[in-house]
Amino acid sequence: MAGPIRYDLVRTMKSKSVVLSMAVIITLSLALVPLIGAATNPVPSSSGGAVVLSYYSGSEYRFTAYSFNTYGQPVIGTKVNLTISDSTGPHSSAATTNSSGLASWALQAEPPGTQVSYSMTTDRNLGGQGILPPGMKPGEVLALGGSTLTTVVDPSNSSRSVALFVYEGPNGTEPTMYRVYYSYGSGQTPGAAIMNVTRMSLLGAPTSFVSEFRLPPPPRNATRVTIAAFEADPPYDLVSGFSAETVGGNLTPPSPSAVFSSFTSTVLAVVVPLMSIMVAYNSYGKDKATGVLESVLARPVTRRSLGLSRYLSFVIASSVALVMTMVAVELISQALLGGSLPPASAVYTTVSLIVEAAAFVGIVMLLSQVIRSQGNMMLVSVGLWISLDFFWTVIVFFASAALGVQVGSGDYLALTIQSSFFNPAQFYSLVGQYLNGVSMSTGFGGSIPISPATYGVTPFTLALTGAFWILAPLLGFLYFVVRRD
């Protein structure tokens, strides 16, 4: 039997669907890994916060506050308490941000001077106090608290960062007279040393109180980012107090681990099940439907042996394709990112994807035994892939609604994770959750790490689930293959 199995393996490896799938995966690796690497912006992002600005109009102090989350999106309901103390005593007021994240209010007190101080608190861990500068002219804007220039996560691509500029022009006008610049650098030079328009690149012109500018990917050797706001006209003065090196710590080049993780979760985890379906369909389901399989079945071989031989050859072919992909990704990683894939992640990823591949090969072979029509079989196989890979979160959402579980709650998280045990296409993500941990969002960009074991994600349950997804479809197939034509 070794000869026929070898032939099946060679035949499968040379089959159009396998060659095509391997070509697609490797091409995607070549094309996407550098892109993902470049797109992974390691600029540290703010976890959200608030900015409070003020100016003296000549008769009163006017305040504007903006509260935002880690994506720079408005946060409603942030309360700001402000007290201005002058020679007549303290004057207090409070405001709450609206649905645009904004709050505007006014307070009457003496003009800025050596005796005029302010004190501010918010319910978002932002506060401040100080003397209002005696030289502060009417209409001149002062930040009482918060960073007017910061970085937040790009809501449309969480691997990238956006510069958030929250500011206003004199007398509360739109800040169109400023320009935001950026520069990437290396070494430990203080950011202020390069805060000069001639040494920085233009990021954009603000048009409203809150402006966002997507930061270009940093070069590989960048270790520091500086963003600053200058006046738009010569002599391009740095806007006092509002330009800063907004991020602490160093930039690091995209890590191979992050790129690898992003690539496998966005590409391989989707393509591998489809590849398995196509291979199993083209080499077994179609052969069975067209009668090609009978020409083999007429030889001295049992149905079970022939089915098993084909199954093994598909799984081995898928495994070879995956290993080749990993090698390709490793080579790209070394060439472009200057580092190697984390060996443990590479092994776990490959193994979990092989489990997914084996499960889908088994499922398609099982379907080919129970569905006679070639068209229906293909339809069901692809439908299954789409449902399990793309619509699983929707299915879980409806299941949670049916069970009365509130979205975002701990129970919902538990349902999301535990439902993955019932989906072969989620096996890779389940392994990922075990390796990388699970966290629960607390809102405002915060999260609490939770042990995967809390939801039953342990090495034992993973091994059991993997074994189940390999064996269940295979045993189902072997059961039917000797009982149904």
Partner 1 sequence: MIKIDALTKTFSRKAGPAIDSVSFEVSNGEIVGFVGLNGAGKTTTIRLAAGVSLPTSGSVSVDGYDVVDQKVEASRRTGWVPELPNFEPNASAISLMRYFAGFYGIPGSEAESRSLELLRSVGLQGAETRRLRTYSQGMKKRFSLATSLLGNPKNYLFDEVLNGLDPEGIRYFRRLMVEVKGREAAVLMSSHILVEVQNLADRVVIIHKGKVIKTVSRGELESVGENIVKVAFERLDDGALRYLKGLGNVRVDGNAVFLRASVDPARLNADLVKMGFRVTELAVQKEGLEEYFLNLIGEAK
Write out the residues near partner 1 by the rule CB under 8 A. Answer: 1-4, 6-7, 11, 15-16, 287, 290-292, 294-303, 482-485
What is the helix (H) or strand (E) element at residue 54, kind and residue range? strand 49-56
Tell me how far apart the alpha carbons of residues 179 and 198 are, in angstroms, rounded to a whole number. 13
Which is nearer to partner 1, 283 or 429 (by Cβ)? 283
User: Which residues are CB-contacts of 249 (< 8 A; sequence separation ≥ 6)?
Assistant: 44
Which is nearer to partner 1, 297 or 336 (by Cβ)? 297
In whole angstroms, the minimum distance from the beta carbon of 14 to partner 1 comes to 8
Residue 235, preceding peptide bond in cis (omega within 30° of 0) = yes
Which is nearer to partner 1, 1 or 394 (by Cβ)? 1
| Tokens at 323, concatenated | 């290993």
What is the helix (H) or strand (E) element at residue 127, kind and residue range? strand 127-131
Which is nearer to partner 1, 3 or 234 (by Cβ)? 3
Which is nearer to partner 1, 40 or 313 (by Cβ)? 313
In whole angstroms, the minimum distance from the beta carbon of 381 to partner 1 comes to 21
First to last CA, the chain: 22
In whole angstroms, the minimum distance from the beta carbon of 17 to partner 1 comes to 11
Tell me how far apart the alpha carbons of residues 385 and 245 are, in angstroms, rounded to a whole number. 47
Tell me how far apart the alpha carbons of residues 393 and 148 are, in angstroms, rounded to a whole number. 37
In whole angstroms, the minimum distance from the beta carbon of 281 to partner 1 comes to 15
In whole angstroms, the minimum distance from the beta carbon of 10 to partner 1 comes to 9
Q: Are 292 and 374 in contact (CB under 8 A)?
A: no
In whole angstroms, the minimum distance from the beta carbon of 375 to partner 1 comes to 18
Which is nearer to partner 1, 8 or 356 (by Cβ)? 8
How long, in residues, is the chain?
485
In whole angstroms, the minimum distance from the beta carbon of 8 to partner 1 comes to 8
Our CA dihedral for 161, 162, 163, 166, rounded to 10 degrees, sits at -130
Which is nearer to partner 1, 283 or 420 (by Cβ)? 283
Tell me how far apart the alpha carbons of residues 235 and 215 are, in angstroms, rounded to a whole number. 25
Residue 376 buriedness (CB in 10 A; 0-12 / 13-18 / 19+): exposed
Tell me how far apart the alpha carbons of residues 183 and 193 are, in angstroms, rounded to a whole number. 12
In whole angstroms, the minimum distance from the beta carbon of 282 to partner 1 comes to 11
Phi-psi region of 317 (alpha: psi -120 to 50; beta: other; left: phi over 0): alpha
Coil/strand/helix, residue 63? strand
| Tokens at 457, concatenated | 């994600």
Which is nearer to partner 1, 118 or 480 (by Cβ)? 480
β-partners of residue 246 are: none
In whole angstroms, the minimum distance from the beta carbon of 483 to partner 1 comes to 7
What is the helix (H) or strand (E) element at residue 142, kind and residue range? strand 141-145
Q: Are 71 and 95 in contact (CB under 8 A)?
A: no
In whole angstroms, the minimum distance from the beta carbon of 352 to partner 1 comes to 32
Which is nearer to partner 1, 9 or 51 (by Cβ)? 9
Which is nearer to partner 1, 235 or 299 (by Cβ)? 299
Tell me how far apart the alpha carbons of residues 153 and 212 are, in angstroms, rounded to a whole number. 11
